Structure 1
């Protein structure tokens, strides 16, 4: 008997866990030569595809840098060292709303792999792919399919020059 995955399961879990409430997220920007590490999620956005830098929510009593180290391991298999905080982005895509703190990160170990989200069930996982992408690859997607930070940028260098509050 073949098991068919419920394609709406990830979206339902995302809405149940994160919908209609304000969430704090920490996100890391890791650049390798001319490519940026990106994670493809499903169950988010109008086209069910959403590319963004790795990150997630701190747990109670966990610092933002510690949370980002943990999130990188969970999502990408990489160990990182947290650098400067670069900017804050307010992500509003109802019913999702998050304040995102973006940090520069440096890889110190591990090996790149597609990770998982421990808050999601086994059949509701939202991480579809993890890979290094060029700026042109990122910008080739419709704006609804990539993080809004890229609307402020014309090059990969611009990503790392972003400062302050973005919305």
Structure 2
């Protein structure tokens, strides 16, 4: 019964991801935050072939909201941190059907708050996809199969490399 309930919850998450974000082009803003040689990462369920997907915090900009405002809001919702948005590092085109997003990645610094697991207010309670938020070493990120972490990490060998990515990252 427990496994069946888990499967139902995962199916609900997949349905919500597709309903809210699937089969359309979406603009996302993402923040690269580091602390003591670790990156802040968010684990989502219902995304990708294994239903586990680690990526830096971020989300969709809303109509009338500039990229910096959207990133400040998304960071607070997902991670509990208040941030100051720094320079634009790179643009990534994320294409993993049914998802397609143009992602603007910014360097960010914490200005307050505490790291905690947040939520997506646009999703129902039983359709939430954020499962974990934590600081991870680069080695820990790279220990996951490539399909379970954001593609930007395939281009990097260290945390320093992440902050040196520039331009448009083509898949």
TM-score band, normalised by the shorter chain?
over 0.9
- The equivalences for 1:42-57 within 5 A come to 42-57=45-60
Residue 104 of structure 1 aligns with which residue? 107
**Separation in structure 2 between the aligned mates of residue 129 and residue 161 of structure 1, nearest angstrom:** 26
The alpha carbon displacement at 1:4 in A equals: 3.4
Q: CA deviation at 1:95?
A: 1.0
Match of 2:5 in 1: 4
Which residue pairs with 1:114 in the alignment?
117
Residue 162 of structure 1: aligned partner: 165
Rounded Cα–Cα distance in structure 2 between residues aligned with 1:42 and 1:136: 21
Say yes or no: does 1:127 pair with 2:130.
yes
Structure 2 gaps, min length 5: none
> Displaced runs of 4+ in structure 1, greater than 6 A?
none
CA shift, 1:39, in A, is 0.1
Indicate which of 35, 39, 51 corresponds to 1:36: 39
Higher helix share goes to which structure? 2
Q: Note if 1:95 corresponds to 2:123.
A: no
TM-score computed with the length of structure 2 as normaliser:
0.95
Measured in 1, the distance between the counterparts of 2:84 and 2:121 equals 22
Instruction: Count the aligned residue pairs.
Output: 166
Residue deviations 1:48-102 (CA, integer Å, cap 9, x gap) = 0000000001111000000000000000000000000000000000111000000
Separation in 2, partners of 1:119, 1:91 = 21
Aligned partners of 2:97, 2:127: CA distance in 1, in Å? 20
